[in-house]
Amino acid sequence: MSTAVQAAAAPVDERLLRTSPLRRVLGRPELGAVVGAVAVFVFFAFAADSFLRASSLSTVLYAASTIGIMAVPVALLMIGGEFDLSAGVLVTTSALVSSMFSYQMTANVWVGVGVSLLVTLAVGAFNGFMLTRTRLPSFIITLGTYLMLIGMNLGFTKLISDTVSTKTIADMEGFPEAKAVFASTLTVGGVNFKITILWWLLLIVVASWILLRTRVGNWIFAVGGNEAAARAVGVPVRATKIGLYMGVALAAWISGQHLLFSYDVVQSGEGVGNELIYIIAAVIGGCLITGGYGSAVGSAVGALIFGMTSKGIVFAEWEPDWFKFFLGAMLLLATLLNHWVRKRAEATK
């Protein structure tokens, strides 16, 4: 089959035949995650009777989407060779800014939503700017941002609301519309789906497009794979990295607005620890921890594994405490598998 396709392409080398289609599949970064996802799916399909019900799958997809929305830009950032430890609490920051600005300053929630977008993007730009200016490891820079954001989330909320959570904004103008955009439920064929699933799919498509088909995508792979070489051939390394951090911030804004409009109040201490889950999803999805390799689709499969495991344990009526154990085991297995697959793929020469 592949020979016919290849014969149609312009200059074909007869030795191409030695690259079997199987080899091509093995060379994909997301392969390990797909194998893992199928295994987890089959496992819970047998272990939990209710797992295969449409409503259960919708719950699984919802759980996956809340992680997946962030895992997509985090994966791009990791391909670009950097971490963002502040991503989890930035989601909370974004929700808090939106909620408190709306409540204190204006009668329309959309103003708060807009201000929140600016503030969140500014935090992303700050991360990227600090990284490219100081050349310190992103681990340190974003760890600093992470701690500062935790402090500011709690500090400002207490200062403004006198408690650790925000006041409800459910009765404010624009709330129903904003809820429709960020936190509504759609019914397809009698099954309810959260709108975050659509946001997630949109981000996967856009990120894959950028990564695989645009110049910026080429630059992302290059700054993560060999920053010095990228700089030497004229790739705007600094702008690429700042852009990647702002991409994470954009997704944090979407996540944050979802958080706010699903519950109409925000707990200021939320989000701590989520940054690691995003990174885990990206790594399970085939992102190389050292940068230069990975895919957006892979991170989505990683998030799906996360969703299936976290909800599958509940459907199987096990102790939810075991979830973290499964996640850790999955991370190790997926990374080992990815490592092995990549070695096999690269040994083809």
Partner 1 sequence: MTTATEPTAERTTGDAPLVELEQVSKYYGNVRALEGVSLQARAGEITCVLGDNGAGKSTLIKIISGLHGHDAGSFRIDGEETRLAGPRAALDRGIATVYQDLAVVPLMPVWRNFFLGSEPTKGRGPLRRMDVEFMRRTAHAELRRMGIDLRDVDQPIGTLSGGERQCVAIARAVYFGARVLVLDEPTAALGVKQSGVVLKYVAAARDAGLAVVFITHNPHHAYLVGDRFVLLKRGAMAGHHTRDGITLDELTRQMAGGDELDDLRHELERPEAAAPPVTADADEGRPRS
What is the contact surface with partner 1 in residues (CB under 8 A)?
A: 10-11, 13, 15-16, 18-19, 209, 213-215, 217-219, 221-222, 225-226, 228-235, 288, 292-293, 346, 348-349
CA distance 343 to 27: 9
- What is the H or E stretch that residue 100 is in? helix 87-105
CB of 84 to partner 1, least distance (A): 21
Nearest to 194 by CA among 63, 307, 306: 63
- Give the gyration radius of the chain's Cα atoms: 21
Least distance (Å) from partner 1 to the CB of residue 222? 5
CB of 334 to partner 1, least distance (A): 19
**Site of tokens 């910026």:** 216
**Whose Cβ is closer to partner 1: residue 171's or residue 346's?**
346
Question: Do 22 and 16 form a contact (C-beta atoms < 8 A)?
Answer: no
Compare residues 292 and 302 and give the one whose CB is closer to partner 1.
292
219 versus 278: smaller Cβ distance to partner 1: 219
Token pair listed for 35: 């194998």
Confirm if 18 and 6 have CB atoms less than 8 A apart.
no
Three-state DSSP class for residue 253: helix
Distance of CA 173 to the CA centre of its chain: 31
Least gap, CB of 161 to partner 1 (angstroms): 40
Closer CB to partner 1, 168 or 226, in the complex: 226
Residue 174 burial (CB < 10 Å; 0-12/13-18/19+)?
middle
Look at the block and give the residue holding tokens 């995003």.
278
Q: Which CB atom, from 109 or from 251, has the smaller least distance to partner 1?
A: 251
CA 335/CA 225 separation, integer angstroms: 18
Q: In the complex, what is the shortest distance from the CB of residue 2 to partner 1, in angstroms, rounded to a whole number?
A: 12
CB of 349 to partner 1, least distance (A): 4
Which one, 167 or 231, has the nearer CB to partner 1? 231
